Structure 1
Amino acid sequence: MGHQGNDIRITLIGAGTIGLSFAAFHLSHLSSPSQLTILDTRPDLEEYVRSTLPKFFPDAPISHVTLSNSLPDAVRNASIIQESGSENLPFKKSIWAEVEKHAPQDTLLWSSTSGIPASQQTADMQDKTRLLVVHPYNPPHMMPLLELVPSPQTSADVLTRTQEFWRTRGRVPILLLKEMTGFVANRLAFALLRESIHLVNEGVVNVEELDRVVETSMGPRWAIAGPFKSYHAGGGAGGLEGFFKNIGGTVQKCWDDTGKVNVGEVWEESIFRQAKEQYGVVDLGERDRITKRILDTVEKEKNNE
């Protein structure tokens, strides 16, 4: 990597929730906050960052972070450029074509998109080998996962350097071997969300009860083992194969009966209302505090195995 150790300089494009969450993470690992630049065109950028960033990083040294609304200035000396802008393909295509004109040749270019593949974002770039999707799980300043989703053109060098960056900072970069809508984590989560909506819509449980089911069963389990390991354990000595031999029929009946709800259908009014009545505005501070304790405990216990 052209920029090593204390010489690393990171530019974040976009000061939304994901961008500032990444800012909090990077500030906690950089040797100096002056190595971080935040690029955003909002007119109240300084005021916004000063009021919002401390929600992710209470002691954020904001006065030493460079805030910019000029793309050429913000990317000119960057080692890493991480884009967390709007989920809009024309925007991403244009921003990367512009970044390419002004950023150093060896700068790592990452997009935090939750669904737009790198192969589409690079359409207007001269060198399509440079861009890599680095998709976080929200909130990225706490969650270890980064899904690395290369286009067919992304270079092996970009992948290697990106994996090294995150691993040395205690994160878990998972390389996806092909582009797929929604990647992996969101596809899994959205499958559960769809069935959750189906069960509430069918009157089996309400919104709050469904959440309690997850929080008191698979939620804790999945913090220590994913679905394959969990059900492999559930099969006893026979493992995953034994599990399916035992209750494969029930599994198949559930799969056959999976809810076919779609966005925009009549379930929305009732379920949106239930969520609003039950939760109002969710306390993200509480969420983050509990999440950190869970992650810390799981890591500690696994290291003691």
Structure 2
Amino acid sequence: MEHDPNLRITLVGAGTIGLSFAAFHLSHLNSPSQLTIYDTRPDLKSYVLESLPKFFNDHSNPISFADINVATSLRDAVSTAHIIQESGPENLQIKQALWKEVEKHAPRDALLWSSTSGIPASQQSQDMQDKTRLLVVHPYNPPHVMPLLELVPAPTTSQNVIERTQEFWRARGRVPIHLKKEITGFVANRLAFALLRESIHLVQAGVVSVEELDTIVESSMGPRWAVAGPFKSYHAGGGPGGLEGFFKNIGQTVQECWADAGQVNVGDGWEEEVFKQTSDAYGLVDTKERDRITKRVLNAIGEEKEKRI
């Protein structure tokens, strides 16, 4: 499927995530004409032509963005697609209505993916005739850079859909992880939000500033976790005793930190100070610089992993 000249992909939703996925797919298709974008905005064609090129830093292989199909109706957008990937608003009613309509017009064997951040497939598919077809494919932002895709099926999603989706992304060098259960926020966001909650607690308590906390993460666990996740890291930290040895050594400190973890809630009143500090420190973040550096980090890690083979 990697460079199948007959593969047709339709993206529903042309927001930041939708365009980021468009950038990724364009890098793996023979022709931009194999990609269709559908969105309800009236200026879609001009918007795509203006906004999509901004996701490309490498101009050595120019893409003819004008050859991308821009559909004005959902029926036309999905009727011949092999893959239909939705990145629309985080609204359950909108998604339920969308998939009910997509199912009417899409080929019966087309893969149906939602890149929602938190609405499970079991809820999205409620109005579908065949609930086995829908699968959440949750990216880590920005998806044209980050390797992770969380595949989160409903209990009714077919194993065939999961396996075909895994095959698609693996063939393109991505990391599709099949989550065995639906859970709010999925896995990557739950981990990230747990760190964010403790970060807010530490700033609110006056232990560090917003900028200092970011510097701590960027100078310690950030690069470490790019190489090894929490279990592998602390397993290594335990020396010959592994993770068990780590907990025998400083398990009490770990428990004291868990017991003392911050319990901040959205709306508790911390927002004004934390938002101000963040805005003062960073202003408008240069996402192009972020993406460029992230790609270099991922490339370096990939090169090192290749040496093991």
Q: Which residue of structure 2 aligns with residue 106 of structure 1?
A: 109
1:8-47 residue pairs with structure 2 within 5 A?
A: 8-47=7-46
The one-letter code matched in structure 2 to 1:173 is P
CA contact (8 A) 2:3 2:30 kept: no
Question: 4+ residue stretches of structure 1 with deviation over 3 A?
Answer: none
2:79 to 50, 54, 76: 76
CA contact (8 A) 1:24 1:60 kept: no
The separation in 2 between residues aligned to 1:290 and 1:267, in whole angstroms, is: 31
Q: Which residue of structure 1 aligns with residue 54 of structure 2?
A: 55
Paired-residue identity, %: 72
The separation in 1 between residues aligned to 2:255 and 2:262, in whole angstroms, is: 14
CA contact (8 A) 1:108 1:158 kept: yes
**Residues 204-233 of structure 1, C-alpha deviations (whole Å, 9 max, x = no match):** 000000000000000000000000000000
Count of residues in Structure 1 that have an aligned counterpart in Structure 2: 304
Is 1:295 the counterpart of 2:298? The answer is yes
The one-letter code matched in structure 1 to 2:123 is Q
Is 1:160 the counterpart of 2:159? The answer is no
The separation in 2 between residues aligned to 1:174 and 1:121, in whole angstroms, is: 20
RMSD over aligned Cα, in angstroms? 1.2
**Residues 218-254 of structure 1, C-alpha deviations (whole Å, 9 max, x = no match):** 0000000000000000000000000000000000000
Q: TM-score, normalising length from structure 1?
A: 0.98
1:136 to 120, 136, 139: 139
2:213 to 192, 199, 210: 210
> SS of the residue aligned with 1:174?
strand
The separation in 2 between residues aligned to 1:114 and 1:150, in whole angstroms, is: 14
The separation in 2 between residues aligned to 1:207 and 1:167, in whole angstroms, is: 37
Q: Which residue of structure 2 aligns with residue 266 of structure 1?
A: 269
CA contact (8 A) 1:21 1:140 kept: yes
The one-letter code matched in structure 2 to 1:168 is A
> SS of the residue aligned with 2:85?
strand
CA contact (8 A) 1:53 1:60 kept: no
The separation in 1 between residues aligned to 2:86 and 2:3, in whole angstroms, is: 21
> SS of the residue aligned with 2:41?
coil
Unaligned runs of 5+ in 1: none
Instruction: Please report how far the alpha carbon of residue 60 of structure 1 lies from its aligned counterpart in structure 2 after TM superposition.
Output: 3.8
2:258 to 243, 255, 259: 255
Q: TM-score, normalising length from structure 2?
A: 0.97
Instruction: Please report how far the alpha carbon of residue 4 of structure 1 lies from its aligned counterpart in structure 2 after TM superposition.
Output: 8.7
Instruction: Please report how far the alpha carbon of residue 43 of structure 1 lies from its aligned counterpart in structure 2 after TM superposition.
Output: 1.1
The separation in 1 between residues aligned to 2:11 and 2:226, in whole angstroms, is: 30
The one-letter code matched in structure 2 to 1:36 is L
CA contact (8 A) 1:109 1:131 kept: yes
Is 1:7 the counterpart of 2:6? The answer is yes
Unaligned runs of 5+ in 2: none
> SS of the residue aligned with 2:70?
strand
